[in-house]
Structures are given as C-alpha cells and as structure tokens.
C-alpha cells in the first residue's frame, strides 16, 4: 500500500492506494483531522453496515501506525454522507461540510438538507408513531411519544431520526412490536391470550395465497402474541390461591 496525503482546507488526511489503484481511508486519522470522537465513530464501523480492513499507515517523518481501521472509497463516502452534523461541535461541523464539498461538490456539501433515501426511513417511522399518537388524548401524547421513542432507542441503538434505508424493515418491525406490547400492557383484552395467538396464526395462514413473503407486522404480532401467552401461563402457574 502506498501512503499519501490530501489537503482539504486546514486538514491533511492520509489515504492508502493499492497496486490496482483502489483507495482506503484510515479512519482514526480522518476522525482526528475532523475533530470527531474516534471511539464513538469506531463503535459504528462494523458489519453489516461496514466491512473495514486493517492496514499499516506509514507517513514520512511520523512513527508508523499499525493495524489502522480503514474503509474503502465507497464505504468512506457512505460514512461521510451519513454523518449527523447536528451532533458535533461547530469546528467538526465546518470540517464535515468542507470534506463533503471536496468529495461531492458544493451542491452536496450538506446532505442533511436534501430529501432522498436517507430521509425515507425516519419519515416512515415517524408516520407510524404519528398514527399511534393520534389515538391518544392530546394531553397524553408527549409522554407516550417519549416512552415509545426511548424504548426504540434502547432496543436499536439509534434514534428514529437517524434510521437509514437499509435498517428500515427491522426498524418498522421493532417499532410495531413496541407499540403492540405497550397497548396490550395498557389495555387488557377480554379475549383469552391463546385465542388471540390463534387468530394471528389463522390470519397469516389465510393470507398465504395472496402473499409470498411474511409481512413484518404479522411476524412481529406473532412473536409478541406468543411471548404474552408464555408470560400469562407462567404467571398463572405461580399465582397463590386465595384462602
């Protein structure tokens, strides 16, 4: 690997170039040049979203850096586009914009103000949340929204507003499950739990001629139903009979 540097405004960023011309970006020096928290970024640079490689980085006049986490050109650009400028300090925000302008042109300097695939996932998730909140008294909506979004963050490790297109199916299933479990816990049904599970299974089977793939919502409802059924049976077994 041949190591060189590119100059972008006040930043000097190392880049590795293979014998066949492929570029790899050492992410720790990149983050330090931007003034991003390296440990926070390193926690995100793992499969399935990224496939980093480790390479030694040797720059003239500097001690060699061993086994530095590197991203390919395509993954580096994906990472750069996905950075949330609202969550960093002013200096880092300016440098992120400068790098975006360098790699994507001025029109793409701030990807967060453009509508596109990156915005689609949060819009869909917010629409699902809005549907649930509309069924609640206006005075209770802020607290319910806080409960649901907090549970979503705990289960998925990211906020609804930060969801990406490739995470959408799993995020929809997760949000649907949270709403389902919340509603069942707050609004007990007179229908026996096992009968509700039977109804879910029947609806899935009846839909087979029209659907080739199992819907995420059906799958989430089935999992939740079976879990509630098991909890109900477990509680019933441990109830102490009244004297």
- pLDDT tens, 23-53? 999 999 999 999 999 998 999 898 888 889 9
Q: Which are the contacts of 118, defined by CB distance < 8 A and separation ≥ 6?
A: 81, 82, 111, 164, 165
pLDDT band at 118 (very low <50, low <70, confident <90, very high): very low
pLDDT band at 113 (very low <50, low <70, confident <90, very high): very low
| Residue boundaries of the structural domains of the chain | 2-113, 115-187, 189-237
pLDDT band at 180 (very low <50, low <70, confident <90, very high): confident
CA distance 153 to 197: 28
Alpha-helix residue ranges (DSSP H) falling in the chain: 27-34, 38-42, 73-82, 90-104, 117-133, 141-156, 168-186, 193-206, 216-238
pLDDT of residue 106: 52
Average of per-residue pLDDT across 89-96: 88
Helix (H, G, I), strand (E, B) or coil at 214: coil
Does this model's pTM top 0.95? My answer is no
């Amino acid at each position: 690997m041949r190591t060189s540097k590119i100059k972008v405004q006040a930043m000097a960023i190392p880049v590795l170039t293979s014998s066949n011309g492929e570029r790899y970006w050492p992410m720790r020096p990149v983050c330090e040049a931007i003034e991003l928290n390296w440990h926070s970024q390193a926690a995100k640079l793992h499969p399935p979203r990224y496939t980093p490689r480790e390479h030694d980085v040797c720059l003239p006049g500097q001690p060699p850096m061993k086994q530095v986490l590197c991203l390919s050109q395509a993954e580096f650009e994906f990472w750069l586009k996905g950075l949330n400028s609202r969550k960093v300090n002013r200096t880092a925000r300016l440098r992120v914009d400068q790098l975006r302008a360098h790699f994507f042109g001025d029109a793409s300097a701030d990807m967060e103000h453009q509508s596109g695939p990156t915005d689609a996932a949060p819009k869909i998730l917010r629409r699902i949340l809005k549907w649930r909140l509309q069924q609640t008294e206006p005075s209770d909506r802020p607290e319910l929204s806080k409960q649901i979004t907090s549970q979503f963050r705990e289960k998925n490790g990211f906020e609804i507003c930060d969801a990406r297109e490739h995470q959408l199916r799993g995020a929809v299933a997760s949000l649907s499950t949270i709403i389902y479990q919340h509603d069942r816990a707050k609004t007990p049904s007179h229908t026996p739990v096992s009968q509700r599970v039977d109804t879910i299974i029947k609806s899935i089977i009846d839909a087979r001629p029209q659907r080739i793939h199992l819907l995420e919502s059906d799958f989430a409802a089935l999992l939740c139903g079976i879990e509630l059924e098991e909890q109900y049976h477990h509680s019933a077994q441990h109830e102490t009979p009244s004297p």
